[in-house]
Structure 1
Amino acid sequence: MRSRVGPRHARRPESTMLRGIYLPRSMDAGAFAMTTYGIPMLVLATTNSASLTGLAFALEWLPRLGAFAVAGAMVDRHGTSCILRLASATRAAVVVAAALALPQLESGLPTTITVMLLATLTGVLTEFSYIAAETAGGVASRQVGERAHRVQSVLLGIDQVGTLAGPAVAGLLLEYTGTAGMLFTIAVFSLLACWLAPPQYAPGRTETPKPVLGGLRTGWTTLCSLPALGWLVGGLTVSNLAIGLLQAATPVIVVQQFGHSSADVGLIWSVAAVASLITVAVCRRAIDRWGLWLVGALCAAIAACGCLAVSLTHTYTAYLVVIAVLMAGEGGMTVVLRTLRSHLIPQTVFGATLSLTILLLLLPFPLAGVLVATVPPALLGHAITGCAVVQALGLALAFVRLRTLPGLRGHLA
């Protein structure tokens, strides 16, 4: 930290990281979590259909995948502040328009179409803002060198706090204030993210920017040159099929099979976020002592065991506990991924490579929505078990391969 002695313009405020990185990330994380978990609950409350809920989950995630084709390159070209402000402001306008329009529409097809369109638009805008905020966090991580995992653990903690509060708040607002209350709250978080977005955390730019659609090619080339990151991303992509299936199926399982409310759906993910937050805090110190690989492998084993146990639960309380264990393991693996990513990806192509890695990680989510839309509710347990087996095998292969890669002692030991 710089001394306060010197001219005013030369001082570096102690609150730079808080004001420049953590606060805007917190606001965007709140909007992200409420959108991700609130929209499927809104669809189920509106239609009472498991198939439409799964379809809404798929429609929410498919456009997000398309957004990654351009989001990273846009951030590399225009900087984090510009993209974060534009995406957040547009998202606020979209949800406010939906909040005003939905009470005027007839129930049935018009309302269903409107909510599906809302899921599509907010999905695209949320991923643009997320890529911008994540890129700013990557820049900050590189600036602190060997303490990058500490910055990443704080950023992941912020995301998990959003996941903690977002589903619970969305469920409660939907239960007691209706659609308008939930959507207006998303708008408030979006506007705060827009207002707090700092100009000083723009990524490094090349003198001759690449075409926007060239971002995926740039990211793929970079990922192929980093085998450690490639194997870790591959393992987590397989794991995310099980995670996505649980996210899409939980409203159906909790409301229709366990007979609980949408507020109880939000409570599950809030408790899971608490477990993940605790894991993140533990991993922050554990990585210092035992290294990335050992911590990541242990978290992968916990996540796999938790997912395998989901189909054995038959009560709401047991389901809540198992989901919390699963997400605790996922939280630890995410710290490992973010730390390795911030160390290995060159700054000049960070946005493009980041967007590609997240694109790969999110590919299973729309597939999970399609599974929920097509598999009868009575057979969801079997589908979850199958995905859990695939998850365990994928994570085991990824971490065994990581252990044998040469030249990674400084990052994985």
Structure 2
Amino acid sequence: MTGRTTPRHDRHTAGLLRSIYLPRAVAALSSAMSTYGIPLLVLATTRSAALTGLAFALEWVPRLAAFGWAGAVVDRRGAAVVFFLACLGRALVIAAGVVVLLVHPAGTVASVTVMALAAITGVLTEFSYIAAETAGAAAGRRAGAQAHRVQAVLLGIDQTAILAGPALAGLLLLAGPPRMLSVITVLSLLAALLALRTPPSPVVPARAPKNSTSAGLLSGWRTIRSLPALGWLVTGLTLSNLATGFLQAAGPVIVVNYYGQSTTAVGLVWSAAAAATLLTVTVCRFAIDRLGLWPVGAACAAVASLACLAVAQAPDYLSYLVLVAVLMAAEGGMTVVLRTLRSRLIPPDRFGSTLSATILILLLPFPVAGVLTALTPPDALGHVITACAVLQALGLFLAFARLRSDPALRT
């Protein structure tokens, strides 16, 4: 019996690598490249700060609209099928964009093409993300007592993709927009092919009502309102996300036009931020064990607020890069606090709907930030960053002041 146990474990680990980890890694890299690379592509193609901000909004508005729908489709059709179709669809759409840009490298047709890519890839990325998360959760359940190790690997894959994706997209853009898009196409197609190895997940046996998505989000919203600690933390982080979202949307304009750097430098900012976030998340896990949730969360909130206020006054590119990395690292620490609190407070029978509602609320500031960037003259971006930083500091201060005596963060 002992002789049969080890080979079975080995087969399980190897199976996870081929069926879960590898498809997730390739899809995450292509998603990160398209999310950060397409706004850069818009700036390089149109030379317009307004259209760059609008492209950022176009990436996020359809994603938010498709959020509940994507979850319902995954539940009905299975994660493996949706993951395959989303990655394949993204590969085909971007390949079509490559052809158009080769024929029309500039002008109205090129501008319309890159804006359409922003919207369509945003939707397909959301579908692939929800499907990948569902497949990862199923793998964790199959792992039993080793579920936390599966989730740790998946989190590391996502952070590594965010680390490498923006820098790679910016570097490839120097060789021309078609080459950058061609690489994203190949990665998306590879992810689709690897998705064929992903084991099918159980689907809902009976079709849910047509309004099940909205009903689920409404149930999640009611659960958030019934948990004051969770509601205050989500409110503070939502206001904080307006500041970080604006920095993401305006980043290409700030780095390229204001600091005079290349598009590669834009990617390096977010790669440095991802590396700092990955380190902070690891440190916060141990800090929470020793100090508790509230001290760690309050410290991260203070650091994030100060860093965002300082970003608006950054005198050069290097200081801007460091301050953005510090800001995003502090945001990562607060995310650890949110996830821990979420797992403690949300009832298991309402966890899925409440999780969807929480993520939807936290992502709402991103399209707003894109629209705000499109409407702001380039010379006034620093003033808007300062205003967002003040709003962020106020929201986080009120949230953590309210949570100081809450037993949920003192346990």
TM normalised by structure 2 equals 0.89
Name the residue aligned to 1:284.
285
Give the partner amino acid of 1:182.
M
- The 1-side partners of 2:90 and 2:358 are apart by 24
- The 8 Å contact of residues 268 and 323 in structure 1, kept in 2 or not, is answered as yes
CA positional deviation for 1:22: 3.1
Aligned to 2:22: 23
CA contact (8 A) 2:223 2:346 kept: no
Verify the 8 A CA contact 2:21 2:154 in the aligned structure 1. yes
Q: Secondary structure at the match of 2:97?
A: helix
Match of 1:88 in 2: 87
Aligned length: 407
Q: Deviation of residue 49 (structure 1)?
A: 1.1
Q: Is the 8 A contact 2:32 2:161 kept in 1?
A: yes
Distance in 1, matches of 2:118 and 2:292, equals: 40
What does 1:240-319 correspond to in 2, within 5 Å?
Answer: 240-319=241-320
SS of the aligned residue for 2:13 comes to: coil
In the TM superposition, what is the alpha-carbon distance from 1:118 to its structure 2 partner? 0.6
Which residue is 2:132 aligned to? 133
Q: CA deviation at 1:189?
A: 2.4
Letter in 2 for 1:86: L
What residue in structure 2 maps to residue 392 of structure 1?
393
- Judged with a 3 Å threshold, the aligned counterparts in structure 2 of structure 1 residues 206 and 200 are, in CA distance, closer, same or farther, namely same
1:210-247 Cα distance to aligned partner (Å, 9 max, x none): 23542232133134225244333322211111011000
The SS at the match of 1:314 is: coil
CA offset at residue 309 of structure 1?
A: 1.0
8 Å Cα contact 1:142-1:342 kept in structure 2: no
Following the alignment from structure 2 to structure 1, what is the Cα–Cα distance between the partners of residues 405 and 151?
A: 25
| Counterpart Cα distance in 2 of 1:40 and 1:222 | 32
- Equivalent residue letter for 1:224: R
Deviates more, 1:40-49 or 1:5-14: 5-14
CA contact (8 A) 1:268 1:320 kept: yes
Post-superposition CA distance 1:262-313 (Å, at most 9, x none):
1111111111111111112212333333344433332222222211111111
Distance between the aligned counterparts of 1:325 and 1:302, measured in 2? 8
Correspondence list, 1:106-121, <5 A: 107-121=106-120
> Could you tell me whether the CA contact under 8 Å between 2:100 and 2:110 is conserved in 1?
no
- C-alpha distance 339-44 of structure 1, shift in aligned 2 (>3 A): same
- Trace 1:33-48 onto structure 2 (pairs within 5 A): 33-48=32-47
Q: Which residue of 2 aligns with 1:173?
A: 172
1:79-228 alignment, distance < 5 Å: 79-105=78-104, 107-139=106-138, 152-176=151-175, 178-197=176-195, 199-200=198-199, 202=201, 206-211=204-209, 213-226=211-224, 227=227, 228=229
Structure 2 distance, partners of 1:397, 1:142, is 38
Root-mean-square deviation (Å): 2.9
Tell me by how many angstroms 1:111 deviates. 0.6
Deviates further, 262-271 or 394-403: 394-403
For the pair 1:231 / 2:232, whether they are aligned, the reply is: yes
2:362: which partner in 1? 361
Residue in structure 2 matched with residue 58 of structure 1 by the alignment? 57
Greater displacement, 273-282 / 122-131: 273-282
In structure 2, do the counterparts of structure 1 residues 285 and 306 end up closer, same or farther at CA, with 3 Å as the change threshold? same
SS state at 2:313 partner: coil
Cα gap change, 1:142/1:121 in structure 2, threshold over 3 Å: closer, same or farther?
same
In the aligned structure 2, how far is the partner of 1:404 from the partner of 1:3?
51
Q: Distance in 2 between matches of 1:58 and 1:134?
A: 24
Query: Residues 346, 108 of structure 1: CA spacing in aligned structure 2 closer, same or farther, 3 A cutoff?
Result: farther
Separation in 2, partners of 1:85, 1:207: 21
Letter paired with 2:57 = A
Q: Distance in 1 between matches of 2:15 and 2:297?
A: 30
1:153 CA drift (Å): 4.8
TM-score (norm 1): 0.88
Offset, 1:84? 1.4
**Counterpart secondary structure, 2:4:** coil
Structure 2 stretches lacking a partner, 5+ long: none
Amino acid at match of 1:239: S
- Matched-pair contact (CA < 8 Å) for 1:71–1:355: no
Q: Secondary structure at the residue paired with 1:101?
A: helix
Identity %: 58
**Inter-partner Cα distance in structure 2 for 1:297 and 1:145:** 34
Distance 1:10 1:82, change over 3 A: same
Q: Kindly indicate whether the alpha-carbon contact (under 8 Å) linking 1:33 and 1:163 is maintained by their aligned counterparts in 2.
A: yes
1:148, 1:342 within 8 Å by CA — same for their partners in 2?
no
Structure 2 counterpart of 1:79, one-letter code = G
Structure 1 110/147 Cα, relative in aligned 2: closer, same or farther at 3 Å?
same
What's the CA shift for 1:391? 1.1
Q: Conserved in 2, the CA contact under 8 Å of 1:51 and 1:374? A: yes
Q: In structure 2, what is the Cα distance between the partners aligned to 1:255 and 1:354?
A: 37
Provide structure 1 residue ranges, at least 5 long, that are not aligned to the other structure.
none
